[in-house]
Structure 1
Amino acid sequence: MSRRSGRLSLKHLNREVEGSTSLKKLSTPTKRKQEPLLELETVGRRKSLNYDDEIAFKPSVKRPRLSTGSTIKKKTILGILSSDNSDDNKESPFKENDYQSNIIPASTKTETAVKAEIKEEPAEDEAAEESEMTEVERLRRQNIEQRMKMFEELNLGELKKEIETSFTETKASSSRRSSIFSSKSSIPFGATEEVGASARDDWGSVPRNSTPVLTLDDAVHHNFVDKENSVLLEDICCSMKVKNMQKKTGMREENLSLEEFKKKMNSLTLKEHHKTKVVPSRIYSMAVCPMSSGFVVAAGCKSGAVGLWKIDPEGSEWDKAKQVCFDYHSKPTNCITFGMQEPHLMYTTSYDGTFRRGDLEKQTFTLLYETPPNRKDNHTCWHAEIEPGVFLLGVGDGSVARIDSREDPSTGTETFRCHDRSLRTISVHPETGVHFATTSSYNKEVAIWDLRKTTNNKSFSGKLSSIEFTKPLSSAFFSPVKGDSLLTTCADDTVCVYNCWDLENPKLQAKVSHNNHTGRWITNFRAVWHLQRDDVCIIGSMDRPQRKLELFEVGPKIKPLTTLKNNEYFTTIGAVAMFHPYLPAVAAGNASGYVHVFM
């Protein structure tokens, strides 16, 4: 039948159906009644027909497929199907031009008779479908079957389970030392460095080292220093004697005027051998040893390692033998200081909940305090020396512990509550020695306390005053000489100075805008004082493309003093910056564990 066949004429369907193979003549009713329209498929096109009520159309009947390339056998939807044995040469009742009239009367056959005439050929349909399958499809199915057989022979399912089990066990038992030379840490850390439960989980499950006393061989980081230089580690520590670290007041920078100090800072340069990788990963804390005969800088990193680097100011080449790294902390080392009167003593605080003292002369590392391992928020945050050998230590639950390094750690520790959550920094007033300031990121405040009025295990006792901010703070430090100013760094992109002549009523003295949004992978900026001056501070910078360190003049107003930069060797963000207390030199640490020294 032609594809142009449209609506069907009555006169071409007035033929009787003989058996199941021929069309029977259909009688035309005298009165045509409007009946629901049903669909008739003729050579891929749909037609609308009217039938009597007694004829029930069953759309569930499967329509046979029409093959192409040969004579098409006409099959109707009503079950009046032409048999494969019908005469192909018989004239088709469907003409090309006879489509003007498409409404035809239905046969008076009952539904049972129509159903009896329906013949389905599912087997022939499946055979036709199989014959129509392309060669590509057959090859594809064969390949799938071959691969499935190969997978079954290799037992890949069991092998996958064994690999997953082995990988899990290896990951749990491996140490961070296996990847110590990697400059990038795989542990993510929040942009604000909030010490929450999720952050502590990201630090890994490496247990803390609770050994009371560690020897040099136990504490040194063997994987970070080359084997040929490991024999010189003992000589490095022995060279740092107390007699070589005596202070010389004639070299103090506080004796210089601000203009003379500025000229000295502008004369500083960064040489190639004054830049080296001191610790394996991102630097969190840094301290400069107060010795006038040389330059020794200590840096603590995210993995917990603590590195020491001794620099010869008059040397012309980098000497790796004067570098050593210790590995007695299992989580970030966030605070490092040298002893107030004994500079050969190095104190370190880590988020793993331990506070240690390293005697570089005796080459021993003593555990002074550790938090209960099963207690919530058991990390330690910061420490400050209030008198020789006596420290205030910030704990993760917002409390402060008083630690006397001369006493036995097992005798107990006095603690008092200062904040609801973990604090950031502790700063002791340099003149009184009994007043100290704490910063809380959770409460967004700086609080000033009187140590004499604090009560053991009593919350918020001895509080003199507080300064509230709109966003979290990263630090607050008293000026190092007189203590009449408080320098704060806040996430609201400001560096502020508060007048603290009256500790119970501090007032804002000056502030300056500064980009403090370091992001996820850079340590938070902390503006710090020069240890011998109350009128100068230093902080890192996010400015680009030229990386630099910014120095500010602190007075009635905060004004830019100068910048330190080097186009060739200083190309990263120096997030942690520190003045040398007695020499015209500045050290800066970045997120890759490198320390740059301008001198």
Structure 2
Amino acid sequence: MYSCGYDGSLRCGDMQKEIFMDVFNEPEDDVLLRNFVFTSPHTMLVSENTGCVACVDTRTASTTAEQMYKLSHKSFRTVSCHPTQPYYFCTAGVAGGFSVWDQRNLKPKKSKALCELAFGKNINSAYFSPVTGKHILATSINDKLRIYDSSKIGPNIKVKRCICHNNRNGRLTFRAAWHPAREDCFIVGSMNWPREISLISVAGKKLHAFRDEEYVNSVCFLHALHPTLNLVAGTNNSGRVFVFM
């Protein structure tokens, strides 16, 4: 199990040995690691609050990055890799939009994105769809979920659908998450009452609302779907995890 944290460390948990081993460490105390994505079984990209993306190889004994790319002057929140062409990845952060990059053309400084798309508001996340990468699902603080057509990677990526959703909140960063084995639906939390996790189709139709007024009375803002079992998990801002079966 891999995890990254605000202490600037990326670690691998060995459940048999019951220890976490450092894979990557940022030497600066004020660097926060936001999230990571595997580009191969042994390599990953890690997003940072400094606007950098680190390329990490888990096979090396060193805890430093193989490459460090300075891509923005503002903080990143997510990095997502194309599932079939892993040299393409997208970053999202507080600059108000997301960018698509080609890792083959990156330089340590002053790299140029293949595509930059503005939201006008801080963006919480942007994720390639998990099977073919033909969609990018983006979540912002302006009550909008947007699906982009990324079937052809390049400067002409366009919005395919804009979905209104109640996710306006000053403290929580809602992140819509794809079904890990499908590209026709995703889940996202909601500010609606009673509190719920919404299952939404790419056409913008709400397919189901996961709710339980007895147990779930707080907002879930991070979510996950099991790839093979009918399980949905969501977490609130107090560290509680709710699992729907």
Given the superposition, is the C-alpha separation of residues 400 and 572 from structure 1 closer, same or farther in structure 2, using an over 3 Å criterion?
same
- Kept in 1, the 8 Å contact 2:11–2:21? The answer is yes
Letter in 2 for 1:574: C
What's the counterpart of residue 542 of structure 1? 191
TM-score, normalization by structure 2:
0.94
- Kept in 1, the 8 Å contact 2:92–2:99? The answer is yes
Report whether the alignment pairs 1:464 with 2:114.
Answer: yes
Aligned to 2:114, the other structure's residue is in SS state: strand
Deviations 1:56-95 (A, max 9, x none): xxxxxxxxxxxxxxxxxxxxxxxxxxxxxxxxxxxxxxxx
Pairwise mapping of residues 474-553 of structure 1 onto structure 2 (< 5 A)?
A: 474-504=124-154, 505-520=156-171, 523-544=172-193, 546-553=194-201
Aligned to 1:409, the other structure's residue is in SS state: coil
Given the superposition, is the C-alpha separation of residues 395 and 566 from structure 1 closer, same or farther in structure 2, using an over 3 Å criterion?
closer
Deviations 1:364-408 (A, max 9, x none): 31111111236xx52222211100121101122211111001012
Of the candidates 58, 70, 81, which is equivalent to residue 405 of structure 1? 58
Aligned to 2:163, the other structure's residue is in SS state: strand
Pairwise mapping of residues 45-60 of structure 1 onto structure 2 (< 5 A)?
A: none
Shift of 1:570: 2.3
Greater RCO structure (CA 8 Å; 6+ sep): 1
Letter in 1 for 2:2: Y
The runs of at least 4 consecutive aligned structure 1 residues that moved more than 4 Å come to: none
Pairwise mapping of residues 95-494 of structure 1 onto structure 2 (< 5 A)?
A: 346-373=1-28, 377-409=30-62, 413-441=66-94, 443-455=95-107, 457-461=108-112, 463-494=113-144
Shift of 1:412: 5.5
Given the superposition, is the C-alpha separation of residues 432 and 465 from structure 1 closer, same or farther in structure 2, using an over 3 Å criterion?
same
Aligned to 1:452, the other structure's residue is in SS state: helix
More strand by proportion, 1 or 2?
2
Report whether the alignment pairs 1:568 with 2:223.
Answer: no
More helix by proportion, 1 or 2?
1
Shift of 1:477: 0.3
Letter in 2 for 1:369: F
- Kept in 2, the 8 Å contact 1:419–1:460? The answer is no
Q: Percent identity?
A: 34
- Kept in 2, the 8 Å contact 1:530–1:579? The answer is yes
Extract unaligned runs of 5+ from structure 2.
none
Given the superposition, is the C-alpha separation of residues 598 and 411 from structure 1 closer, same or farther in structure 2, using an over 3 Å criterion?
closer
- Kept in 1, the 8 Å contact 2:8–2:33? The answer is yes
Deviations 1:32-58 (A, max 9, x none): xxxxxxxxxxxxxxxxxxxxxxxxxxx
TM-score, normalization by structure 1:
0.40
Letter in 2 for 1:510: R
Given the superposition, is the C-alpha separation of residues 570 and 440 from structure 1 closer, same or farther in structure 2, using an over 3 Å criterion?
closer
- Kept in 1, the 8 Å contact 2:48–2:77? The answer is no
Extract unaligned runs of 5+ from structure 1.
1-345
Letter in 1 for 2:164: S
Deviations 1:538-575 (A, max 9, x none): 0011112x221111011xx3221111112322222222
Letter in 1 for 2:117: I
- Kept in 2, the 8 Å contact 1:423–1:440? The answer is yes
Of the candidates 232, 239, 242, which is equivalent to residue 593 of structure 1? 239
Question: What is the Cα-based RMSD across aligned positions, in Å?
Answer: 1.5
How far apart, CA to CA, are the structure 1 residues paired with 2:63 and 2:131? 35
How far apart, CA to CA, are the structure 2 residues paired with 1:508 and 1:397? 28
Given the superposition, is the C-alpha separation of residues 567 and 397 from structure 1 closer, same or farther in structure 2, using an over 3 Å criterion?
closer
Letter in 2 for 1:433: P
Instruction: Point out the structure with max Rg over C-alpha.
Output: 1
Count the aligned residue pairs. 244
How far apart, CA to CA, are the structure 1 residues paired with 2:41 and 2:14? 14
What's the counterpart of residue 264 of structure 1? none
